[in-house]
Chains A and B, each alone.
Chain A
Amino acid sequence: MGNLPGAPMAYTYLDLTFPEGLPGLSKELLADHLALHRGYVDRTNKLLEVVRAAETEGRFSLELKEYRRRLGFEFSGMRLHESYFRMLSATPGAPDPTHPLQKRIATQWGSFEAWWKAFADTCTMPGIGWGTLLKDPTNGELAHAFLEDHQNGVPVGMEVVLALDVWEHAYATDFRPTGRGKYVEAVRPLIDWRFVEAAYGR
């Protein structure tokens, strides 16, 4: 693939390690989870370059089409994990009631507690995936969505404000496979609202 026009830069691993774990989440769980993320980065890079090489050379086989279909899984798996790990903090910023995100939450749900209850309900939906708080950039409004796996059930055009991984790998080591609800409550005090509020913007 050396002769391809200007090969785009490869995606890189996160510069996070959580060597001590996080309060409520063990270092073993987090180390395993970060290893999974690196797999998504590797597979996304490989997929994008193989597909682009075939496209550039005009090889439009069925294999290419099916490999391209895989992009949503790998790319979303990479990007959502980045959002998740960067949102977690041992010393998180508290919600800032003067930030437009918190005002918007209050406008739509009445209170932060009412919003959290709805978000936690989204995080405990049957199936593997992500509980997300999303923003429609055209009007600033918020909605909850459950992204199935990583790439399905996505409201296209909305922006991820907060994404909570509820695949079993995110919690089974510490909370057992039946402990998703406990895990979601354990993550709540780790959410760095500076990061989440920046994702919403102003």
Chain B
Amino acid sequence: MDRRTMMGTLAAGMVGAGLSAKGLGSDATAVPKAAGDPLADYVARPFDFATGLPGLSKELLAEHLTLYKGYVTRTNALLKDVLGAEKEGKAGAMVQELRRRLGFEFSGMRVHEWYFEGLAAKAPAAALTHPLHKAIDATWGSHDAWWSAFKATCTMPGIGWAALVKDPVTGRLMNAWFQDHENAIPVGVQPLLVVDVWEHAYVRDFGATGRGKYVDAVKPLLDWSVVEKRF
């Protein structure tokens, strides 16, 4: 890792932190592309919650989208810096510790995308004839029983994500808890539905003790057509 690549990652991290502090937008497509770089840049997805969503304020959602863009920016910078160092034959502590950071940044990007994708102001209800709901019924007995279990997952102590996941090998459904973004992950499962329960996802609208109310507010916003497609 030379000074230039290290500074690149640090600068991207600072950009992300600065943006979230100021609540400004960022253009993730503006990451400079090195000549001959084989990696395409990830582009921040254009989620439009300008008028808010029923039950979630536009201010909360705007700040949340800004945080998401920081993950996109830092993921692009991190992947390029690590690959650049690897191509130069660099090994050892500096590149290793940079590489260790990938889980946080990449997962932070991807799970936010799944979360925002699954929210809609006029969310289609669950299509109860869809195989997903048959699988939920077969696993937990009823949709309501599953939701109670999923909500209990959402209110687990700590920051992270509640996820309904499917094992693609067996088709089995499970409720899982992701600590931060990248820890306690059942490796190899497919997330179908994720709900962000970091404090930034709800404190502004519901207060620091309002996670349960936030989860109830999110319930009618869940776009089941998206979840069903992932199944």
A binding-site residues for B, Cβ under 8 Å: 4-6, 8-9, 11, 48, 51-52, 55-56, 58, 60, 64-65, 68-69, 71-73, 75-76, 79-80, 107-110, 114-115, 117-118, 120-122, 125-126, 139, 141, 143-148, 150-160
Say yes or no: A72-B185 contact (C-beta < 8 A), given A56-B145, A141-B40, A155-B107: yes
Closest 7 CB pairs of A and B: A55-B149, A118-B86, A72-B184, A121-B91, A156-B107, A60-B152, A153-B103
Say yes or no: A6-B139 contact (C-beta < 8 A), given A64-B152, A144-B82: yes
Please determine whether B187 and A55 come into contact, CB atoms closer than 8 angstroms: no
Stretch at the interface among B125-133, B170-178, B196-204: B170-178
- Number of A-B pairs whose CB atoms are under 8 Å? 179
**Interface size on B (CB < 8 Å)?**
55
Which residues of A are found within 8 Å of B104, using beta-carbon distances?
153
Partner pick for B174 among A48, A154, A157, CB 8 A cutoff: A48
Say yes or no: A151-B186 contact (C-beta < 8 A), given A109-B87, A114-B89: yes
Please determine whether A72 and B102 come into contact, CB atoms closer than 8 angstroms: no
A80 to B188 CA separation, bound complex (whole angstroms) = 8
Please determine whether B182 and A156 come into contact, CB atoms closer than 8 angstroms: yes
Closest CB of chain B to A149's CB: distance in Å? 9
Stretch at the interface among B18-26, B47-55, B62-70, B93-101: B93-101
Closest CB of chain B to A196's CB: distance in Å? 15
In the complex, whether B121 has a CB less than 8 A from a CB of chain A is no
Say yes or no: A154-B39 contact (C-beta < 8 A), given A6-B139, A68-B175, A71-B174: no
Please determine whether A157 and B191 come into contact, CB atoms closer than 8 angstroms: yes
Please determine whether A109 and B86 come into contact, CB atoms closer than 8 angstroms: yes
In the complex, whether B209 has a CB less than 8 A from a CB of chain A is no
Please determine whether B157 and A65 come into contact, CB atoms closer than 8 angstroms: yes
Please determine whether B153 and A68 come into contact, CB atoms closer than 8 angstroms: yes
Closest CB of chain A to B155's CB: distance in Å? 8
Say yes or no: A154-B38 contact (C-beta < 8 A), given A6-B139, A55-B140, A60-B148: no
Q: Which residue of A lies closest to B144 (CB)?
A: A58
Partner pick for B83 among A108, A139, A159, CB 8 A cutoff: A108
Closest CB of chain B to A65's CB: distance in Å? 5
In the complex, whether B181 has a CB less than 8 A from a CB of chain A is yes
Closest CB of chain B to A160's CB: distance in Å? 6
Which residues of B are found within 8 Å of A139, using beta-carbon distances?
40
In the complex, whether B15 has a CB less than 8 A from a CB of chain A is no
Please determine whether A151 and B184 come into contact, CB atoms closer than 8 angstroms: yes
Q: List 12 A-B contacts (CB under 8 A).
A: A51-B175, A65-B156, A72-B183, A79-B186, A117-B91, A122-B96, A143-B83, A147-B103, A148-B100, A154-B103, A156-B103, A157-B114
